[in-house]
Structure 1
Amino acid sequence: MIDTDRTAAVTAVIDSLAEAWGRGDADAYGAHFTEDATYVTFVGTRYQGRQDIADSHRALFATFLKGTGLAHEVLDVRFLGTDVAVLTSRGDTVKGKRPKKLTKVQTYTLVREDGRWLVAAFHNTQHKALMEGISFRFAPQTKPKAQQ
């Protein structure tokens, strides 16, 4: 049975993260994370804690990511008890129009603290469709069942 209320609450966090990103608001972005959250970027940089996440994004929003937004689509939400959720999505940093293909895959682990869902861990990886296709061609048994 799908828990639509909890699913909506969890996906709303991801939508709100994207809104904060679009405004370039590092403090609002960081406020969606637990005090001790872990954040891993697609280039492998690891940030630890809400403050580190907010501070790094403040610098990024002023330089490399200035004027960008986040495009995302939720692929799956699973609940591991009443107060823990794992959300997977496809996403991308965008400037202007949303791309047809979102090139990153993200995993969010969210926890409910004082009735509010927060991100405790985030991992972002670049999807390498060509390499994945080659792998599936030469070792078809590696293709996830969901894609068959």
Structure 2
Amino acid sequence: MHEPADVVPAWQDAWNRADADHLAALFAEDADFVNVVGLWWHDRSSIRDAHDFGFRTIFPGSVITMAEPRVRRLGTDAAVVQSRWHLTGQISPAGEAAGPREGIFTFVLERRTQGWVAVTAQNTDIAPGAQTHLNSAAGQSPVHYRPRTS
């Protein structure tokens, strides 16, 4: 990648082609990746394998649309890139169509001799109208604490 922001269209392209190899190639060999439920992978191979499984099982035929990236340079050789995303085409464990989702990706990139490479990434779901999650005997659910005004 020639610029840090290039990670966003490259991610979108790899995802929409269900290309786990191309997706993993965006990352350093020793990169970290935290997904929306807190699964944490510690190298390019694990990132590739997890996404390959996802493309075959959870997201076959899915489409992700990435928004304009926000880039924060950290000196000359590091940057944080964030982008909102919208996803359609996920399927349930029973094989039924799931509803659309939205979230925010955060990538941390480092400039190396071959160009920019992601050294870590975190993917976060957006829970509309919620401020946090609450765990209870019934499971985890998004909640809102502030009183709502009309």
Give the alignment's TM-score, normalised by structure 2. Answer: 0.74
- Contact in 1 for aligned 2:5/2:69 (Cα 8 Å): no
What is the 5 A alignment of 1:1-148? Answer: 9-95=3-89, 103-132=102-131, 134-135=144-145, 137=146
Structure 1 segments (4+ residues) deviating >2 Å: 92-96, 132-135
Per-residue CA distance 1:80-103 (angstroms, 9 max, x = gap):
01110001111133239xxxx962
Percent identity (aligned) = 31
1:115 Cα deviation after fit? 3.7
- Kept in 1: contact 2:11–2:23 (CA 8 A): yes
Contact 2:64-2:86 at 8 Å conserved across structures: yes
Q: Tell me the C-alpha RMSD between the 2 structures.
A: 2.4
Matched residue of 2:105: which SS?
strand
Residues 83 and 104 of structure 2 are in contact (CA less than 8 Å); yes or no, is this contact kept in structure 1? yes
Distance 1:105 1:45 in 2: 16
Q: What SS does the corresponding residue of 1:131 show, helix, strand or coil? A: coil
SS at 2:12 equivalent: helix
Structure 2: runs of 5 or more not aligned: 91-99, 132-142
d(CA) in 2 for partners of 1:30 and 1:19? 12
SS in 2 for 1:108: strand
Question: Which deviations, in whole Å up to 9, do the C-alpha atoms of 1:93-131 show, x marking residues without a partner?
Answer: 3239xxxx9621221101111141111111111222312
Q: Is residue 73–residue 91 contact of structure 1 (8 Å, CA) maintained in 2?
A: yes
Structure 1's unaligned 5+ residue stretches are 1-5, 139-148
Q: 2 CA distance for matches of 1:124 and 1:36?
A: 18
For each residue in 1:5-31, what CA deviation from the matched residue of structure 2 results, as whole angstroms up to 9, or x when unmatched? x9x822222201211111111111100
TM-score (norm 1): 0.75
